[in-house]
Amino acid sequence: MRMPGTRFQSGDMVMGRWPGSSLFYEVKVLSYDAKIQLYTVIYKDGTELELREVDMKSPTGFKPSHRSRSRSRSPSRRRSRSRSPARTTRRSSSRTTSGTFATETSAARKEPKMKEVLEIRLSPVARPVENNGHNKHENKKNDTADKVNENPAEAEQEKKILESRYNLRRRKDDGDAKPAEQTEEKEAEQKPAAATAPITTELEFGGRLGVSCMMLFLPVAVLGLMVVCSQEDASLMSPPSLPALDSLLDPHVFGMVVLWFLFQALLYVLPVGKVVEGIPLKNGEWLKYRMNILHAFVLTVATLGAAVHQGMDLSYIHSHFLQLAVSSLLFSVLLSVYLYVRSRWAPQDQLAPRGNSGSVIYDFFMGSELNPRIKGFDLKYFCELRPGLMGWLVINAAMALAEMKLHNLDYPSPAMILVNCFHLFYVLDAYWHEEAVLGYMDTTHAGFGFMLVFGDLMWVPFTFSLQSYYLVHHPNHLSLPCIVGIVTLNVIGFCIFRKANSQKNAFRRNPSDPTLSHLKTIPTATGKTLLVSGLWGLVRHPNYLGDLIMALAWSLPCGFTHILPYFYVIYLTTLLVHREARDEAQCRRKYGSVWDDYCREVRYRIIPRVY
């Protein structure tokens, strides 16, 4: 793609300086950000970094060094042989000239060792996700801490070297990198150019065909599961008796879905709760978010409680379950169309890196705009936590009432109580850690399109509540030891999930946090470090492990007669395995060969000794 006003163009193969050295490697130019005047380039080993124009040269005039022909090694392979990239910077240039596609300028060879180092600007670091607003600057210092090195003096020395040598800046589309300041001198030197969004070339989910199939199949699957769940024989093998199609779309029910969405939107804009800064935009602005979800939850419970007290029958949700799902689907489609249309006018620097392929169907599914907002109203953040997750809890409560009504019970069954309590606890935990969601992958990387809209507004409330829906029609007796066993399993899962997430969030907020000083870490070239001990040394995604253990505990109260209540476990396993692979690819791009070092250190992905 043509990038006006720049010396290098997207797709050009040029020589890019390896930060902290005088070595130049062949790199491919991916894009240019005019606002911060940095090129995103990719090295041959897959490391993506951002370089200034002064650190890039045209390939003509470079000669490969002698040894380069016989021993081919990428910058990071050289590094990984001995040390992490942070440490590599200490090595003398003579030792590092043996890479094939590493070539050294003759001028650079003559430079004294310290002068070889670029004028360094330390990589901007992760934005705090749970404590935003206080420590922007503190983080810049802290994230360079190298805790692998147990000797404080040496660690300090290493930190200084990093700080003084690195001129790396993480790719902006990694989401949490704050654009670095340019010196006035440099700004004057560089020509302004139009901001362009990188074109998505690697299509996920099987590309256009894959996402088209998903868009047709997923809604049908949700409705199919709901129909099967309500039948006496909830077997996936027995053909379900289908409801009349014209009964599925009820304008009254659709009105209720819209009302629910608007009610939650109203609670979101209430001027209560603190406002925090979230992820930065490509133009360097920080988005602001209001944290008032617990207020919204309490007000929702109070409003529904008052409505029930006034005679509203919550079991309406049970009797109109399918219609509600169809209306939510229709609402999701309409919202996704709106999002796609508005994304066509969105500024380039606000497009999501994964949803800008140029294919209508693919971009509609993935979402083109990263953070679509109407004034300050953030549609993605709002949908991720509010109408769907709260709707899920309301559906669960309605199912408990329906069970009592259907079976003439004074109280819901123990199985129903367990399922309701587990789900409530999970959602409340997410609400308690509301700010943490600002740092999760979906918030930082994903565009807001059909996948997430449908996921948030139809998939979450109507598939996550299948267990309680199932129990209405399929009571399951639980003995006391069973109850104790299931609760214990859920507690174990929750402890792993919470500890892993809190540890990572606290570490990203402040890598020098004294409560985490016992944990080992490895540094990366971006200035960020990775945890390699404790839960994060056991597997690469301990938070996923905890989530999966909880998922199992939620299904067990439904017994073993049918597979349907285990749908959530199957879904979550599939989603998290896929998500892990996506995250892995992303981290490999971000951290280069240090990620491989990390993977060697922490061998298993989600389940210790198994996977």
Ligand X SMILES: NC(=O)C1=CN([C@@H]2O[C@H](COP(=O)(O)OP(=O)(O)OC[C@H]3O[C@@H](n4cnc5c(N)ncnc54)[C@H](OP(=O)(O)O)[C@@H]3O)[C@@H](O)[C@H]2O)C=CC1
Q: Strands, DSSP E only, in 371-449? A: 373-374, 377-378
The listed partner (ligand L3PRFG4B, ligand X, none) that binds 531, CB under 5 to 8 Å by sort, is ligand X
The listed partner (ligand L3PRFG4B, ligand X, none) that binds 52, CB under 5 to 8 Å by sort, is none
Which pair of structure tokens corresponds to residue 344? 């066509």
**587 is a site residue for ligand X (CB under 6 A):** yes
- Which span sits near ligand X by CB under 6 A: 10-18, 325-333, 362-370, 543-551? 543-551
How much of the chain is in helix, strand and coil states, percent to nearest 5? 55, 10, 35
306-320 b/e (C-beta count within 10 Å ≥ 16 → b): eeeeeeeebbebbeb
Q: Which is nearer to ligand L3PRFG4B, 455 or 557 (CB)?
A: 455
Q: Which is nearer to ligand X, 350 or 503 (CB)?
A: 503
Rounded Cα gap, residues 461 and 379, in angstroms: 18
Rounded to a whole number, what is the largest CA-CA distance in the chain?
A: 89
Q: Which residues pair with 406 in a beta bridge?
A: none
Q: Which is nearer to ligand L3PRFG4B, 8 or 454 (CB)?
A: 454
The listed partner (ligand L3PRFG4B, ligand X, none) that binds 583, CB under 5 to 8 Å by sort, is ligand X
Tell me which residues touch ligand L3PRFG4B (CB under 6 A).
218, 384-385, 430, 437, 440, 442, 451, 454-456, 459-460
Q: Which is nearer to ligand L3PRFG4B, 53 or 429 (CB)?
A: 429
- Which span sits near ligand X by CB under 6 A: 258-266, 318-326, 346-354, 496-504? 496-504
The listed partner (ligand X, ligand L3PRFG4B, none) that binds 579, CB under 5 to 8 Å by sort, is ligand X
**In whole angstroms, how close is the CB of 427 to ligand X at the nearest point?**
10
Q: Which residues pair with 529 in a beta bridge?
A: 523
The answer to whether 57 touches 15, Cβ cutoff 8 Å, is: yes
Q: Strands, DSSP E only, in 509-581? A: 521-523, 529-531
Among 53, 250, 583, 601, binds ligand X (CB under 6 A): 583
**458 is a site residue for ligand X (CB under 6 A):** no
Rounded Cα gap, residues 174 and 508, in angstroms: 14
The answer to whether 53 touches 186, Cβ cutoff 8 Å, is: no
The answer to whether 550 touches 491, Cβ cutoff 8 Å, is: no
Among 172, 178, 504, 509, binds ligand X (CB under 6 A): 504
Rounded Cα gap, residues 403 and 414, in angstroms: 12
Residues 522-541 that bind ligand X (CB under 6 A): 528, 530-531, 536, 541
The listed partner (ligand X, ligand L3PRFG4B, none) that binds 430, CB under 5 to 8 Å by sort, is ligand L3PRFG4B
Q: How many residues bind ligand X (CB under 6 A)?
A: 23
Rounded Cα gap, residues 384 and 393, in angstroms: 14
Q: Which is nearer to ligand X, 53 or 584 (CB)?
A: 584
| Position of minimal CB gap to ligand L3PRFG4B | 455
Q: Can you spell out the DSSP letters for 23-47?
A: EEEEEEEEEEETTTTEEEEEETTS-
Residues 425-454 that bind ligand X (CB under 6 A): 440-441
Q: Which is nearer to ligand L3PRFG4B, 167 or 336 (CB)?
A: 336
Among 34, 126, 322, 446, binds ligand X (CB under 6 A): 126
Q: Which is nearer to ligand L3PRFG4B, 86 or 457 (CB)?
A: 457
**In whole angstroms, how close is the CB of 451 to ligand X at the nearest point?**
12
Q: Which is nearer to ligand L3PRFG4B, 416 or 437 (CB)?
A: 437
The listed partner (ligand X, ligand L3PRFG4B, none) that binds 536, CB under 5 to 8 Å by sort, is ligand X
Place of tokens 């109109």: 320
The answer to whether 66 touches 98, Cβ cutoff 8 Å, is: no
**In whole angstroms, how close is the CB of 184 to ligand X at the nearest point?**
30
Among 87, 579, 589, 601, binds ligand X (CB under 6 A): 579
Q: Which is nearer to ligand X, 159 or 509 (CB)?
A: 509
Q: Which is nearer to ligand X, 56 or 390 (CB)?
A: 390
3-class SS of residue 553: helix
- Which span sits near ligand X by CB under 6 A: 32-40, 98-106, 415-423, 504-512? 504-512
Q: Which is nearer to ligand X, 64 or 534 (CB)?
A: 534
Rounded Cα gap, residues 103 and 73, in angstroms: 12
User: In degrees rounded to 5, what are phi and psi of residue 336?
Assistant: -65, -40
- HEC letters along 457-506: HHHHHHHCCHHHHHHHHCCCCCCHHHHHHHHHHHHHHHHHHHHHHHHHHH
Torsion of CA 300, 303, 309, 310, to 10 degrees: -140
Q: Which is nearer to ligand L3PRFG4B, 101 or 459 (CB)?
A: 459
Which pair of structure tokens corresponds to residue 226? 């709901």
Rounded Cα gap, residues 210 and 333, in angstroms: 18
Residues 148-187 that bind ligand X (CB under 6 A): 174
- Which span sits near ligand X by CB under 6 A: 358-366, 385-393, 510-518, 578-586? 578-586
**In whole angstroms, how close is the CB of 264 to ligand L3PRFG4B at the nearest point?**
15
**In whole angstroms, how close is the CB of 575 to ligand X at the nearest point?**
6
Q: Which residues pair with 48 in a beta bridge?
A: 42
**In whole angstroms, how close is the CB of 547 to ligand L3PRFG4B at the nearest point?**
8
Angle between helices 466-473 and 387-406 (to 10 degrees): 10
Q: Can you spell out the DSSP letters for 139-187?
A: HHHHTT--TT---HHHHHHHHHHHHHH------GGGS-PPPPPPPHHHH
Place of tokens 């329906």: 402
Query: Would you tell me which residues interact with ligand X (CB under 6 A)?
Result: 126, 174, 440-441, 497, 501, 504, 507-508, 528, 530-531, 536, 541, 543-544, 547, 572, 575, 579, 583, 586-587
